[in-house]
């Protein structure tokens, strides 16, 4: 450390020492003047003059001493100096105004004891100011930052305001009841000391027991009521979040990961509401206790209460210091452990390199060094922890001793009775812990309030979809027209997936949509389902804009069997009737037969009641697809879209499904997306999509005659079938 640094570090203590020396000298001089009363006869004039002098001197010292802290030269310094100098004149003058005896004080304020008392008052006020201002600042900051959130949460609690009033009333009664034990213990002490009124003694014990039991019952009822109300609030918020997430546009789910949404709605919301409910309850309880304890203490002795409040922050300061050290060290221990873990992880993951360089010992040494560092920090942490708990108990002991000492003096002076002193000590024990808990619960509560932000973000989020239309005509032909559609996914707005696409799906016709993978076929289906909005162009259904139709109506009329159909972990029956629970069993059987699913379903262990398993895991891919087709058909759709949903079926099954569809869905508009030639050949109309554009369209023969992309596609398909057959034959031979 350089000389300059030492000088810098020592400047504040040196200034403090100088200020104290100047102050003590000033007080000595005043004391001398007062004793040699020939100079000034009026002690009051001397008291105020001395006070003003003690105010001015530290200010003078701070301005003339270069090492004084900056705050001493500002308004904070002036305030501190004023408190320091004027505390006695103000206190003694107030006592005089209240007609209380002041002779002892007037003649004793400049003694060593008076001087010390003055410094204690100053230190206490400064510490309170620091504590209170941090808390107030915190409250202020939280108030502005979390004001809206708090209001929203309070809004959620509004429907339960009756319950909260009852809870608050019960807390009030229970906290009041808790004051009984210290109160009656004090009373009993008085009776024991005076050895009289045995009846009153018994009576007191009975009353105390009754009040305590009543208080405990109130607490029980209150906890019950509070917890059930909070879980109702929690359930309703969680339900609201879920509902509002479900209303979001599909693009929202593309952008945010489902895992993230799910973990938020379940885990994070649970944690937040648990912490909120726990801390709110603690805050209410401690606040009520704090009020009653302070009231009881003031009622027993104002002087002792003032004394307690004065020395509380001084006694807190040392445990707080060690507590902070402990916290800092435990963070360092965590970091050091993480470092050691990183070393271990790195070594294990590069085990081959370590072995080939024969550096096992080197790595062991590196790991050992990290552990050594952790151990050294652990030792420091243990010492800080021990110091923190020791100083904690010592400080509470010191507080009790101080109160007993000062209280004893008050008892001797007959200002308070012995019983009141006992009651006071018992109240004080709870008071300091209530105070500390209040100060620590508030930030935790605010943290929980902050965590609820995401919930309201979800609830408030307006889905990015046009308002629902109103069209729901009784009859729908199912004539679909895409006119000059351009589209890009919200997640990748710069990549245009569809470019000026125009196509038509006619009622009673099967239109096949073919094209290479990624050409935009499924995207066309998503637009038809209104999952996304086109960037430009329009989609018409029966010559009316698709957006003008009612959403529910549209999804009743359009059935889509997606590429990867998803079954729910419910019975096959429930899966087929999904979204159409009112369908009869007859309708279900017909749909299943059409989808060529009836036979295999009847062979399942419990037929239609067989559980499909999670995501349909208990049925094969082809079976899953057939159940999904049945699910689409049971709705008797006007427009049916099969998006490569027969890819897992064998040719025979696929053929049977298509023949059945052809026969049964005569007036229906069918859009078939497939990579298989067998499905395409028989379609009434074929559209070939390439890089998001309609490259060719017509029927099979027309397109073959063009010798274009479609002809190439057919050629590739045939070659692939031929190659597959040859491979199978070879493998059999
Ligand atoms: N949700 C999405 N977000 C962003 N891009 C997407 C999304 N879905 C598809 N795409 C992209 O859009 C393009 C067209 O995809 P689409 O699924 O429509 O093709 P496809 O012709 O149906 O392909 P396949 O025959 O393989 O099913 C692809 O480049 C794909 O990567």
In angstroms, the CA 148 to CA 449 distance is 10
pLDDT, average across residues 237-246: 84
pLDDT tens column, 126-167: 777 766 666 556 555 655 556 677 777 778 788 888 888 999
Confidence of residue 292 (pLDDT cuts 50, 70, 90): very high
pLDDT tens column, 485-523: 999 988 888 888 999 889 889 888 889 898 888 888 889
Does residue 674 line the site of ligand 1, with CB under 6 A?
A: no
In this model, does residue 484 exceed pLDDT 80? yes
pLDDT score recorded for residue 397: 81
pLDDT tens column, 553-593: 888 888 888 877 778 888 888 888 887 778 888 888 888 88
Does residue 522 line the site of ligand 1, with CB under 6 A?
A: yes
Atom of ligand 1 nearest to the CA of 675: 25
pLDDT score recorded for residue 170: 92
pLDDT tens column, 42-78: 777 888 888 888 888 888 888 887 777 777 788 878 8
Structurally, at CATH architecture level, domain 480-732 sits in 3-Layer(aba) Sandwich (3.40)
Domain ranges within the chain, ordered by starting residue: 3-110, 480-732
Residue 300 to residues 187, 316, 344, 405, Cα–Cα distance (Å): 12, 24, 63, 16
Does residue 497 line the site of ligand 1, with CB under 6 A?
A: yes
**Using CA positions, which residue lies closest to atom 13 of ligand 1?**
518
**Using CA positions, which residue lies closest to atom 2 of ligand 1?**
489
Q: ipTM value of the model?
A: 0.96
Does residue 518 line the site of ligand 1, with CB under 6 A?
A: yes
Q: Which of 327, 401, 334 is nearest to 373 (CA)?
A: 334
pLDDT score recorded for residue 3: 54
In this model, does residue 92 exceed pLDDT 80? yes
- What whole-number percentage of the chain has pLDDT above 70? 91
In this model, does residue 732 exceed pLDDT 50? no
Confidence of residue 273 (pLDDT cuts 50, 70, 90): confident
280 or 108, which is more confident = 280
User: What is the rounded average pLDDT for all residues in the chain?
Assistant: 81
Confidence of residue 733 (pLDDT cuts 50, 70, 90): very low
- Cα-based angle 56, 57, 60 (whole degrees, multiple of 5): 85
Rg (CA), the chain: 42
Atom of ligand 1 nearest to the CA of 492: 4
**Partners of residue 690 on adjacent β-strands:** 693
pLDDT, average across residues 87-109: 78
pLDDT score recorded for residue 203: 79
In this model, does residue 239 exceed pLDDT 80? yes
pLDDT tens column, 295-336: 998 888 888 888 888 777 777 777 777 877 887 888 888 888
In this model, does residue 619 exceed pLDDT 50? yes
In angstroms, the CA 372 to CA 336 distance is 10
From the CA of 255, how far away is ligand 1's center (Å)? 15
**Using CA positions, which residue lies closest to atom 29 of ligand 1?**
518
Q: Between 360-412 and 302-349, two packed helices, what is the crossing angle to 10 degrees?
A: 170
């Amino acid at each position: 450390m350089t000389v300059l640094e030492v000088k810098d570090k020592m400047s504040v203590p040196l200034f403090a020492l100088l200020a104290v020396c100047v102050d003590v000298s000033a007080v000595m001089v005043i004391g001398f003047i007062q004793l040699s009363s020939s100079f000034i006869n009026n002690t009051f004039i001397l008291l105020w003059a001395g006070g003003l002098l003690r105010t001015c001197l530290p200010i003078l010292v701070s301005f003339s001493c270069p090492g004084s802290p900056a705050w001493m030269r500002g308004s904070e310094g002036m305030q501190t100096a004023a408190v320091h100098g004027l505390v006695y004149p103000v206190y003694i003058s107030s006592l005089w105004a209240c007609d209380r005896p002041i002779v002892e004080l007037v003649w004793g304020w400049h003694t060593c004891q008076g001087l010390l008392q003055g410094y204690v008052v100053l230190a206490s006020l400064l510490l309170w100011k620091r504590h209170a201002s941090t808390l107030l600042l915190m409250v202020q900051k939280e108030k502005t930052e979390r004001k809206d959130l708090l209001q929203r949460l309070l809004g959620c609690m509004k429907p339960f305001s009756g319950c909260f009033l009852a809870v608050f009333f019960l807390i009030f009664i229970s906290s009041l009841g808790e004051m009984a034990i210290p109160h009656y213990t004090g009373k009993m002490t008085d009776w024991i000391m005076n050895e009289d009124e045995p009846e009153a003694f018994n009576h007191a014990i009975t009353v105390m027991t009754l009040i305590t039991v009543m208080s405990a019952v109130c607490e029980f009822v209150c906890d019950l009521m509070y917890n059930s109300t909070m879980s109702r609030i929690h359930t309703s918020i969680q339900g609201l979040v879920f509902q509002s997430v479900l209303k979001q546009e599909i693009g929202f789910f593309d952008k945010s990961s489902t895992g993230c949404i799910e973990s938020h709605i379940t885990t994070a919301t649970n944690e937040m509401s648990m912490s909120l409910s726990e801390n709110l309850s603690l805050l209410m309880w401690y606040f009520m206790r704090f009020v009653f304890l302070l009231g009881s203490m003031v009622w027993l002795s104002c002087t002792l209460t003032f004394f307690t409040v004065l020395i509380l922050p001084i006694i807190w300061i040392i445990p707080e210091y060690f507590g902070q050290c402990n916290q800092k060290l435990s963070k360092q221990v965590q970091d050091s452990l993480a470092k050691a873990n990183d070393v271990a992880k790195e070594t294990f993951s590069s085990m081959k390199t370590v072995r080939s360089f024969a550096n096992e010992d080197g790595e062991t040494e590196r790991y050992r060094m990290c552990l050594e560092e952790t151990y050294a920090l652990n030792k420091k942490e243990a010492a800080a922890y021990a110091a923190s708990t020791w100083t904690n108990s010592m400080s509470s002991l010191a507080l009790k001793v101080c109160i007993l000492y000062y209280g004893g003096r008050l008892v001797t002076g007959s200002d308070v009775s012995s019983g009141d002193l006992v009651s006071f000590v018992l109240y004080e024990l709870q008071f300091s812990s209530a105070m500390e808990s209040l100060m620590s619960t508030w930030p935790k509560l605010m943290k929980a309030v902050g965590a609820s932000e995401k919930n309201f973000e979800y609830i408030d989020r307006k889905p990015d979809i046009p308002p629902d239309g109103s069209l729901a005509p009784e009859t729908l032909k199912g004539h679909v027209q895409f006119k000059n559609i351009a589209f890009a996914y919200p997640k990748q707005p710069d990549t245009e997936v569809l470019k000026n696409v125009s196509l038509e799906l006619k009622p009673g016709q099967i239109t096949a949509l073919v094209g290479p993978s990624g050409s935009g076929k499924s995207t066309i289906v998503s637009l038809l389902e209104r999952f996304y909005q086109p960037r430009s162009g329009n989609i018409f259904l029966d010559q009316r804009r698709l957006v003008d139709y009612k959403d529910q109506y549209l999804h009743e009329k359009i059935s889509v069997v997606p590429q990867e159909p998803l079954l729910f972990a419910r019975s096959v029956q429930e899966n087929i009737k999904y979204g159409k629970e009112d369908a009869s069993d007859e309708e279900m059987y017909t749909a299943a037969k059409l989808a060529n699913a009836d036979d295999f379903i009847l062979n399942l262990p419990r037929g239609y009641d067989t559980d499909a398993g999670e995501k349909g895991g208990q049925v094969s891919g082809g079976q899953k697809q057939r159940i999904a087709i049945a699910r689409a058909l049971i709705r008797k759709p006007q427009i049916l879209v099969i998006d490569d949903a027969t890819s897992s079926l064998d040719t025979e099954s696929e053929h049977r499904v298509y023949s059945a569809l052809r026969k049964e869905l005569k007036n229906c508009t069918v859009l078939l997306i497939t990579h298989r030639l067998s499905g395409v050949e028989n379609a009434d109309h074929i559209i070939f999509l390439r890089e998001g554009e309609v490259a060719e369209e017509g029927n099979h023969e027309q397109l073959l005659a063009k010798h274009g992309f479609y002809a190439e596609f057919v050629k590739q398909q045939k070659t692939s079938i031929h190659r597959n057959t040859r491979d199978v034959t070879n493998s059999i031979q």
